[in-house]
Amino acid sequence: MATPIVNIQNLVYSRPQGFTDTPTHYCPGCTHGTAHRLVAEVLEEMHVLDKTIGVAPVGCAVFAYNYIDVDFVEAAHGRAPAMATGIKRVLPDRVVFSYQGDGDLASIGMAETVHAAARGENITIIFINNAIYGMTGGQMAPTTLPGMKTTSSPNGRDVETQGYPVRMAEMLATLDGGGYIVRRSLHDPKNIRLAKKAIRTAFETQVHGLGFSMVELLSTCSTGWGVTPVQSLSWLEEHMIPAFPLGDYKITPSVAALKI
Amino acid sequence: MGRELWKGNEAIAEAAVRAGLEAYFGYPITPQNEVLEYLSHRMPELGRAFVQAESEPAAINMVYGAACTGARVMTSSSSPGISLMQEGLSYIAGTEVPMVLVNVMRGGPGLGNIAPSQGDYNQICKGGGHGDYHPVVLAPASVQEAVDLMPVAFEIAHKYLNICTILIDGSIGQMMEPVLLPEMQPVVRKVYDWAVSGAKDRKRHVLSSIYLDVPTEEKVNLRILGRWRQAQENEIRFKEYFLEDAEYIVIGFGTAGRIALSAVRAARAKGIKVGLFRPISVNPFPYKQVEHICQRAKSLLVVEMNTGQMLKDVQASVKNRIPIRFYGRLGGVMPFPDEFVEEIQEMIHNPGKPEDDSADLWYLRMMAR
């Protein structure tokens, strides 16, 4: 780390050890940076940075490895849970996580996601749900809300022809392999703190061998949504939370008993 | 230990185990199911990783992840399943990580059937997935040869950081033959300076096939090509039979090559001076060796269980120096040695011209039947 420009006793906020000093490539107002930071903070607090392997997705977070300072592999679109499975089965004592968006996880990678959960694969998925394909320019995602305008649903998602959004946390919670499956949001400080706590619990679930864990994080995409960064936070709160209720969808008794 | 009677697919699986296979990921498809079934009990009993994946794309991406750790990893499938794996194979090639693939080919295209075929030669040898890469492909002609090639396949994969494919068909996979299995090798996880394992006391490793900086991607392509050129130099494998005095030479790989050996023996019994050249490495293809043998032969007969896919590689070696006759059976039909003997005799009576389009002439003969 560079020479601190504030006295250490006054330092309340700094770059976590698990974070590189790469300038962000994310758009203004995007909450990927927040989610990245939470993951880095949790891995640092658990002292597992040197035994963690991340699996990056295809999508905006394709370069997650530029920020989170651990060993990383870069998966094909949607295949991150399969790739994480391959790593975890060979290196069962390492911490293995994938970080995926909604197109990656809930559309092209639906099978890999569902079956990793069904197998009770001891991996952690950080799932960023912003209801849109960000990287490719704002197309309709499997989580796009009914009536929501995207570049491939220009008149608003018509459920008659384009179907309904997929609620992943609820769906995966029905599977016996899940140990910890929750949904949180990144739209304000209180929820960010709750999200961090959930990410910690998810990784603890893995470290204790208690099965598949996923934290779904409702996130913003001001560019894709066509609103300002500030507006995107209230848009998330007003529109996404009613469609994707926050909550704990699956916490097995052994996970609930964890002392963190 | 002496020879034992083993089914091809199971022998291949056990040979992989003895070659230090650490992780297997697969999906059921006929005619390779016994590889998956055998390893489903054999791997756990040795404390090694086995997962029956939800699909071939998932299986190959599990292999991709495991390959990134530097472990000896493998999957197996058959034609339609191999098609589904092509995306992952391209990523594995682009990330420059090692793996072994067993392809037990069946009749196609499409769903086809479960009978033996060699219709996927082009798919396997010429890439299959997107991008410029060249997997090493070994095509054994018997269960014993497949067993012997398993440790070789892992060594090649790890030496050239590439895909090494064992290319067989349903007949070798399903057939029981006496085999001498190799001794059990201990599992040795090499510490590679590229593998992921957690960045403990070292700089972190990032494995990816994405290079948005175009000149960097070009350099990666050249690096992949460089290793392939080394493989071309070092990994040519083939077998020759009765070539010393041969005036006519049959060329076939895998099962077609094996049937051709019976045909060549039968023709020899009739006094015909014919020999057999059987490529084992079909990628890299033994171009120079074929070029060399065609200098002393009057003509060649290429036999395949496809429409003449390897024929193109033979033609590239022969360069119209001598006539080539082609004979193929398709869609899972196994040729009999007698058919090849007839073809050998026809070749001698009507040698044709070096510039003849042998695939075209074969097609017309097939349609006139």
Q: A198: which 2 tokens?
A: 């959930």
With CB atoms and an 8 Å threshold, state whether B91 touches A76: yes
Cis peptide bond prior to B109, omega within 30° of 0? yes
Which of A53, A105, A108 is the best residue to mutate to test the B interface, defined by the most B CB atoms within 10 Å of its own CB? Answer: A53
Which residue of chain B comes nearest to A66, CA vs CA?
B206
Structure tokens at B330: 């398709």
> Do A83 and B64 make contact, defined as CB atoms within 8 angstroms?
yes
* Cβ-based contacts of A89 with chain B (< 8 Å): 23, 49, 51, 62, 66
pLDDT at residue A4 in the model = 61
How, if at all, do strands B136-138 and B281-283 pair? Answer: antiparallel
Whether B53 sits inside 8 A of A115 (CB atoms) is yes
Q: Do B64 and A51 touch (CB under 8 A)?
A: no
Q: Is the peptide bond before B31 cis (omega within 30 degrees of 0)?
A: yes
Structure tokens at B177: 């033959």
Lookup result for tokens 């020999």:
B275
The parent domain of residue A132 ranges over: 8-256
Which SS3 state, helix, strand or coil, does residue B330 take? coil
Residue at A127 is within a domain: yes
Q: Looking up tokens 């709160």, which residue turns up?
A: A237
Residue A8 structure tokens? 């250490």
Is residue A2 domain-resident?
A: no
Q: What is the CATH number of domain B239-368?
A: 3.40.50.920
Size of interface A-B (CB pairs under 8 A): 129
Confidence of residue A7 (pLDDT cuts 50, 70, 90): confident
**Residue A123 lies inside a defined structural domain of this protein:** yes
Which of B62, B95, B201 faces A85 most closely, judged by CB atoms? B62
CATH code for the domain in which residue A50 is found: 3.40.50.970
Cα-based distances in Å from B158 to A89, A188, B67, B151, B164: 20, 49, 10, 11, 9
Same topology between domain B4-234 and domain B239-368: yes
Q: Give ipTM to 2 decimals.
A: 0.95
Is B220 part of the contact surface with chain A (CB cutoff 8 Å)? Answer: no
Q: B57-116: per-residue pLDDT in tens?
A: 999 999 999 999 999 999 999 999 999 999 999 999 999 999 999 999 999 999 999 999
For residue B67, give the amino acid letter: A
Q: Does A87 touch chain B (CB under 8 A)?
A: yes
Reply yes or no on whether the pLDDT at A3 is more than 70.
no
Average pLDDT over residues A49-75: 97
Q: Taking CB atoms and an 8 Å cutoff, what residues of chain A touch B192?
A: none
pLDDT band for position A185 (50/70/90)?
very high
| Residue A30 burial (CB count, 10 A) | 24
- Domain segments of chain B as ranges: 4-234, 239-368
Number of independent structural domains in chain A: 1
Is residue A3 included in any domain, yes or no?
no
pLDDT at A175 exceeding the cut of 90: yes
Question: Does residue A1 fall inside a structural domain?
Answer: no
In CATH, which of 3.90.850.10, 3.90.1200.10, 3.40.50.970, 2.60.40.1150 is domain B4-234? 3.40.50.970
CB contact under 8 A, B64 and A72: no
Of B150, B143, B142, nearest to B18 (Cα)? Answer: B150
* Nearest beta carbon to residue A89 from set B51, B88, B200: B51
pTM of the model: 0.96
Name which of B91, B95, B205 is nearest A71 (Cβ-Cβ). B205
In this complex, do B66 and A89 lie within 8 Å of one another by their Cβ atoms? yes
Q: How far is CA B181 from the centre of its chain?
A: 20
pLDDT the model gives residue A6: 79
Question: Given a cut of 70, is residue A1 above it in pLDDT?
Answer: no
Task: Please report the sign of the dihedral spanned by the C-alpha atoms of residue A141, residue A146, residue A150, residue A151.
Answer: positive
Q: How confident is the model at residue A130 (pLDDT cuts 50, 70, 90)?
A: very high
- CB contact at 8 A, A199 and A40: no
Give first-to-last CA distance, chain B, whole Å: 50
**From CA B44, how far away is CA B23, in angstroms rounded?**
10
Whether pLDDT at A5 is above 80:
no
